[in-house]
Amino acid sequence: MPTNINGKKVLMFVDNIYEDLELWYPKLRLEEAGATVVLAGPKAGVTYMGKHGYPAVSEAAIADINGDDFIGVICAGGFAPDKLRRDARVKSLVAHFAGKGQLVAAICHGGWIPISAGAYWGVRVTGSPGIKDDLENAGCIWVDAPAVVDRHFVSSRKPDDLPAFCKGVLQVLTR
């Protein structure tokens, strides 16, 4: 079990219609590894519902997040990323992590967030085939694989790829 992430904080964004497994699987896996995972939504203390009906309560408001308190960010998929990527603070946080060489991880439609943050130019990534054109138009190098690790960027296609995705996330966080 990795020990150099014990007590470190990882940020995850949440909003309505997030992909349930893509939020909860990484959150629980990282907590098992000793990290603290903070769910940040548009408002703190609000219950956001996943695509499949699983609730997630935001522990913080996105506007109140200080990027320096975290070692990286994970962007779950679903329909929530399409709304979250319009938030200037979400984009600035993702750009902050990318610029510092810290974890920027996205699965499925979560890749929309780093695209909108301008963080993906020249990065090898994968994601939902539904956003392949968006990724390529943002300057990404598309790879069709369960998970892709390019420096501090980790990406994956769908819930079935979560084991490979989390392995990549832990690989980056434990370097």
Length of the chain: 175
Percent of the chain past pLDDT 90, that is, above it, reads 97
Q: What is the pLDDT of residue 54?
A: 97
Angle at 115 between CA 175 and CA 144, to 5 degrees: 70
pTM: 0.97
- Catalytic, 109? Answer yes
- What domains can you pick out in the chain, each with its CATH number? 9-173 (3.40.50.880)
Mean pLDDT for the stretch of residues 64-74: 98
- 38 SS3 class: strand
Q: What is the pLDDT of residue 169?
A: 98
Q: What is the pLDDT of residue 4?
A: 82
Q: What is the pLDDT of residue 3?
A: 59
From the candidates 52, 96, 109, 152, give the one annotated as an active-site residue.
109
Instruction: Find the helix or strand (DSSP H, E) in which 81 lies.
Output: helix 80-84
